[in-house]
Structure 1
Amino acid sequence: MTLPEIVVWSIPSPSQGTWYIGPLPLRGYALSIILGIVAAIWIGERRWVARGGRAGEISDLAIWGVPFGLVGGRLYHVVTDWQLYFGDGQNPVAALYVWRGGLGIWGAIALGAVGVMIGARRHHIKLLPMLDAIAPGVLVAQAIGRWGNWFNQELYGRPTDLPWALEIDAAHRPDAYPDVATYHPTFLYECLWNLGAFGVIIWLDARLRLGFGRVAALYVMLYTLGRGWIENLRIDDVQLIDVGGLRFNVWTSLVLFVLAAAYFAWATVKRPGREETVYTREADADERAAAAPEASEG
Structure 2
Amino acid sequence: MNLTIVLNSIYSYLVNLRPEYDRSSRIAFTIGNISVMWYAIIIMSGAIIGTLYGYYRFGKRLGLDSDTVLTGLALGLIFGIIGARLYYVIFTASANEIEYKSFLDVINPRDGGLAIHGALIAVAIYLPIFCKLNKIKLLTLLEIALPLILFAQVVGRWGNFVNQEAFGGLVKVPNLANYGEITRYTVLDDATLIAQREALSHMLIPNFVINRMYISYSNASGFLCAGYYYPTFYFESVLNLTGIVIYMIARKHIKKILVGDGISFYLIWYGIVRFIVETMRTDPLYLGTTGIKMAELTSIIYIVLGITWLIVRRIKKIQMISCWDALYKEGANMRYDDYVMKPKKEKQNEQ
TM range (shorter): 0.7 to 0.9
Name the larger-Rg structure: 2
Q: Does 1:27 align with 2:37?
A: yes
- Aligned AA for 1:217? S
Runs of 5+ unmatched residues, structure 2? 1-10, 172-195, 327-331, 341-351
Moved more, 58-67 or 251-260: 58-67
- Cα separation, 1, equivalents of 2:17 and 2:242: 23
Q: How does 1:21-60 map to 2 (within 5 A)?
A: 21=30, 23=32, 24-49=34-59, 52-56=62-66, 57-60=68-71
Question: Structure 1 pair 10/222, CA: closer, same or farther in 2 (3 Å)?
Answer: farther
Question: Structure 1 pair 27/35, CA: closer, same or farther in 2 (3 Å)?
Answer: same
Question: Structure 1 pair 254/44, CA: closer, same or farther in 2 (3 Å)?
Answer: same
Q: 1:216 aligns with which of 248, 259, 263?
A: 263
**What is aligned with 2:335?**
279
- Cα separation, 1, equivalents of 2:82 and 2:258: 29
Percent identical among aligned pairs is 24
Secondary structure of 1:227 counterpart:
helix
Secondary structure of 1:26 counterpart:
strand
**What is aligned with 2:349?**
none
Question: Structure 1 pair 251/180, CA: closer, same or farther in 2 (3 Å)?
Answer: same
**What is aligned with 1:290?**
none
- Cα separation, 2, equivalents of 1:168 and 1:109: 31
Q: Does 1:145 align with 2:126?
A: no
- Cα separation, 2, equivalents of 1:197 and 1:190: 11
Q: 1:238 aligns with which of 285, 301, 308?
A: 285
Question: Structure 1 pair 247/122, CA: closer, same or farther in 2 (3 Å)?
Answer: same
- Aligned AA for 1:235? T
**What is aligned with 2:344?**
none
Q: Is the 8 A contact 1:64 1:119 kept in 2?
A: no
**What is aligned with 2:179?**
none
- Cα separation, 1, equivalents of 2:92 and 2:120: 18
CA-to-aligned-CA distance 1:71-106 (integer Å, 9 cap, x gap): 11111111111134447xx55531211111121112
Question: Structure 1 pair 255/176, CA: closer, same or farther in 2 (3 Å)?
Answer: closer
**What is aligned with 1:256?**
302
Secondary structure of 1:25 counterpart:
strand
Question: Structure 1 pair 200/8, CA: closer, same or farther in 2 (3 Å)?
Answer: farther
Runs of 5+ unmatched residues, structure 1? 285-298
CA-to-aligned-CA distance 1:206-247 (integer Å, 9 cap, x gap): 12343341112211111111000001100115332775x752
**What is aligned with 2:252?**
206
**What is aligned with 1:106?**
117
Q: Does 1:123 align with 2:134?
A: yes
**What is aligned with 1:193?**
239
- Aligned AA for 2:124? A
Q: Does 1:226 align with 2:236?
A: no
Q: Is the 8 A contact 2:214 2:229 kept in 1?
A: yes
Moved more, 22-31 or 74-83: 22-31
Secondary structure of 1:125 counterpart:
coil
Deviation at 1:127, TM superposition (A): 0.9
Q: Is the 8 A contact 1:65 1:114 kept in 2?
A: no
Q: 2:108 aligns with which of 83, 97, 105?
A: 97
- Cα separation, 1, equivalents of 2:61 and 2:88: 34
Count the aligned residue pairs: 278
- Cα separation, 1, equivalents of 2:45 and 2:27: 16
Q: TM (normalized to structure 1)?
A: 0.81
**What is aligned with 1:296?**
none
Q: TM (normalized to structure 2)?
A: 0.70
Q: 2:145 aligns with which of 113, 119, 134?
A: 134
Q: 1:184 aligns with which of 220, 227, 230?
A: 230
- Cα separation, 1, equivalents of 2:231 and 2:40: 19
Question: Structure 1 pair 174/249, CA: closer, same or farther in 2 (3 Å)?
Answer: closer
- Cα separation, 1, equivalents of 2:274 and 2:45: 21
Q: Does 1:67 align with 2:78?
A: yes
Q: Is the 8 A contact 1:53 1:278 kept in 2?
A: yes
Moved more, 150-159 or 171-180: 171-180
**What is aligned with 2:26?**
17
